[in-house]
Amino acid sequence: MPPLKCLQTFTAVMDTGSFARAAEQLGVTPSAVSHQIRQLEDILGKPLFARRNRAALPTEDAVAYANALAESFTRIAVATSRFSSEGAVQRLMLHSAPSLATLWLVPRLPAFRARHPEIDLTLFAGHEPAKLGEDGFMIDIQYNRPVPEACESIALAEETIVPLASPAFVEQHRLTRVEDISAVPLIHSIRCVAQWDEWIARHAPHVMLPRRGMTFDRAFLALMAARDGLGLMLESNLQAAAMVRAGELVMPFGPLGITALAHRIVYRREDRARPQIEAFVAWIIDEMAAERGLATPPEAARRQRADAGT
Position 299 pLDDT exceeds 60: no
At 296, is the pLDDT very low, low, confident or very high (cuts 50, 70, 90)? very low
Q: Which pLDDT score is estimated for 289?
A: 85
Residue range 163-179, pLDDT digits in tens: 999 999 999 999 989 99
What integer pLDDT is reported at residue 126 of this predicted model?
86
Q: Is the pLDDT of residue 297 over 60?
A: no
- Mean per-residue pLDDT, 263-272: 90
**Does residue 304 carry a pLDDT above 70?**
no
pLDDT higher than 80, residue 80: no
* Residue 117: pLDDT over 80: yes
Q: Mean pLDDT throughout 96-103?
A: 90
Average pLDDT over residues 218-243: 92
Span 12-66, pLDDT tens digits: 888 888 888 888 888 999 899 999 999 999 999 988 988 766 667 888 899 889 8
User: Which pLDDT does position 68 carry in this prediction?
Assistant: 86
pLDDT digits (tens, 9 = 90+) for 27-40: 999 899 999 999 99
pTM of the model: 0.62
- The region of weakest confidence among 82-86, 123-127, 271-275 is 82-86
pLDDT category, 272, cuts 50, 70, 90?
Answer: confident
pLDDT for 305: 45
Show the domains of the chain with their CATH numbers: 4-81 (1.10.10.10), 90-157+261-306 (3.40.190.10), 159-259 (3.40.190.10)
Average pLDDT rounded to a whole number, residues 62-87? 76
Model confidence at 298, pLDDT cuts 50, 70, 90, reads very low
**For the segment 213-223, what is each residue's pLDDT rounded down to a tens digit?**
899 988 989 99
Q: What percent of the chain is modeled with pLDDT above 70?
A: 90
Q: Please give the Cα distance from 40 to 52 (Å, whole number).
A: 19
pLDDT-derived band of residue 130, with 50, 70 and 90 as boundaries? Answer: confident
Q: How far apart are CA 301 and CA 283, in angstroms?
A: 10
Output the average pLDDT for the chain: 85
Q: Across residues 71-80, what is the average pLDDT?
A: 76
